[in-house]
Amino acid sequence: MLNLSKFLLTARNEINSIKNYVELDDLRVKYLGKNSFLNSQFKEMIKLDKQDRVKLGYILNRVKNNLLKIISRRKYKLDNLFCKNNLFLKKKIDISLPGRQIKNGSLHPVNILINLSKNFFSSLGFSFVFGPEIEDYYHNFDALNIPYCHPSRSKKDTFWFNNKYLLRTQTSSVQIRFMKKSSPPIRFISFGRVYRNDCDRLHTPMFHQIEGVMVDKNISISNLKWIINNFLHTLFGNKKYCIRFRPSYFPFTEPSVEVDIKINNDKWLEILGCGMIHTNVLNNVNINSDIYSGFAFGVGIERLAMLYYNTKDLRVFFENDIRFLKQFK
């Protein structure tokens, strides 16, 4: 007890006599660091019985708290001394000078394209829905009429956790989950990340996709083409562009179509797949395909961003290079 009182008195006198922050930090380490006298006393407590250990622990913690208060008060005095000597007496402040400018951040180009897409589809009355990124094989494959032998089910193409769960390969799984608990008329958009085991100039293992679905009576492929045409015109109307619809195959749509776009007479680039929802898919979600029909489309947002910002490699959107990202407003 006597040693601790003497220890605290010595520490207070030494701390109150220092003149700068470096010395203050050195004393903090000296009196509170792992090799300090105080810390050694804490380690010795293990040799005592429970009653003595409680008493000594109470005393040591009071000493430690007092040291922290002494150091804090000295730091406060040093702060005041610094302001007095450096700011008020030695340095003149020109209050008419402009303040430091803080650079504004900006949205990521992918987020910009998502927001532009949201604005367009919300104007047509589409609602926004979301689904899980960790999906089961039923919603990702079976309910979408994808056969068991389809290559997208292989481990070479898809990231599987086990025999049941995987990282979703498409936002089409959201349409199954939403249509199961809804009844026509249905009109919604889903945005989200999807995952495929592919990486090159036009592909990445993770990318963003827009899923659009409309189901009602007398829906035809003409309705689908009108929406796709107007959506692309809204995005690229200020640029010289051409689009083409060409026949394709998807297990969940029939007929199926892929849409390519060419801007400023450059090469054609496939940006989305779409088509009339397959009757098997409608039946899987208990929608009568004899009464209702519908269409679905999936758009790769990074592909749109490539064309919108005239970049040649979509991988640059994920490299987080501030020199690249700060260009976008």
| Domain co-membership, 48 together with 168 | no
Which CA distances in Å does 229 have to 99, 226, 234, 271, 304? Answer: 49, 5, 9, 13, 14
Instruction: Judge whether 22 lies within some domain.
Output: yes
Distance, CA of 37 to CA of 222 (rounded, Å): 84
Top-confidence residue, 210 or 321: 210
| Least confident residue range of 81-90, 108-117, 125-134 | 81-90
pLDDT of 194-207, one tens digit each? 998 877 777 788 88
Q: Cβ(216)–Cβ(186) under 8 Å? A: yes
Can you tell me the distance from the alpha carbon of 13 to that of 70, in angstroms, rounded to the nearest whole number?
A: 10
Contact 175, 182 (CB under 8 A): no
Residue 95 included in any domain = no
The verdict on 84 and 114 lying in the same domain is: no
Closest CA to 255 of 220, 211, 223, 230: 220
C-alpha to C-alpha distances, 131 to 160, 172, 176, 302, nearest whole angstrom: 18, 10, 10, 20
Query: Is 72 part of a structural domain of the chain?
Result: yes
d(CA 178, CA 77): 64
CB 224 within 8 A of CB 230: no
Q: Are residues 82 and 131 in the same domain?
A: no
Q: Is the pLDDT of residue 274 over 60?
A: yes
3-state secondary structure at position 263 = strand
Per-residue pLDDT reduced to its tens digit, 132-175 = 889 888 988 888 888 888 888 888 888 889 888 989 988 888 88
Query: What is the per-residue pLDDT across 47-74, written as a single tens digit (0 to 9) for each?
Result: 888 888 888 888 888 888 888 888 888 8
| pLDDT mean over 227-255 | 87
Nearest to 295 by CA among 259, 253, 232, 258: 253
Cα first-last separation, the chain: 66
Q: Does 101 reside within a domain?
A: no
How sure is the predictor about 86, in pLDDT bands with cuts at 50, 70 and 90? low
Would 103 be classed as within a structural domain?
A: no
Q: How confident is the model at residue 37 (pLDDT cuts 50, 70, 90)?
A: confident
Please report where in the chains the tokens 């009653």 appear, as a residue.
51
pLDDT score of 197: 83
Query: Is residue 98 included in any domain, yes or no?
Result: no
The confidence score (pLDDT) of residue 2 equals 45
Answer yes or no: do 313 and 276 share one domain. Answer: yes
Average pLDDT over residues 93-117: 81
Name the nearest CA neighbour of 242 among 263, 226, 270. 263
For residue 242, list its beta bridge partners: 262
Mean pLDDT of the chain, nearest integer: 84
Q: Which residues of 264-276 are buried (b: 16+ CB within 10 A; e: fewer)?
A: eeeeeeebbbbbb
> Residues 18, 19, 23, CA angle at the centre, nearest 5°?
60
- pLDDT at residue 276, as a whole number: 92
Residues 36 and 118 in one domain: no
Alpha carbons 259 and 168: distance in angstroms, whole number? 22
> 220 and 294 share a domain?
yes
Are residue 59 and residue 129 in the same domain, yes or no? no
Confidence (pLDDT) at 89: 53
- Using the predicted structure, report yes or no on whether residue 91 has a pLDDT greater than 70: no
Distance CA 316, CA 150 (A): 31
Q: State the CATH number of the domain containing residue 309.
A: 3.30.930.10
Q: DSSP string covering 45-114, please?
A: GGGS-HHHHHHHHHHHHHHHHHHHHHHHHHHHHHHHHHIIIIIIII----TTSPPPPPPP----HHHHHH
- In terms of domains, do 194 and 279 share one? yes
- Please indicate, yes or no, whether residues 23 and 56 belong to a single structural domain of this protein: yes
> Is 313 within a domain?
yes
Query: Pairing between strand 293-300 and 206-216?
Result: antiparallel
Q: How confident is the model at residue 222 (pLDDT cuts 50, 70, 90)?
A: very high
Is the pLDDT confidence value at 120 over 80?
yes
pLDDT above 90 for 226: yes
Please say whether the beta carbons of 169 and 207 come within 8 A.
no
Cα–Cα distance between 181 and 174 in angstroms, integer? Answer: 11
In a domain, 114, yes or no: yes
According to DSSP, the β-strands at 127-129 and 186-195 are: parallel
Domain range spanning residue 82? 2-90
**How many domains in the chain?**
2
Provide the 8-state DSSP code for 315. Answer: G
Closest to 145 in 3D by CA, of 257, 279, 286, 258: 279
Q: Are residues 113 and 149 in the same domain?
A: yes
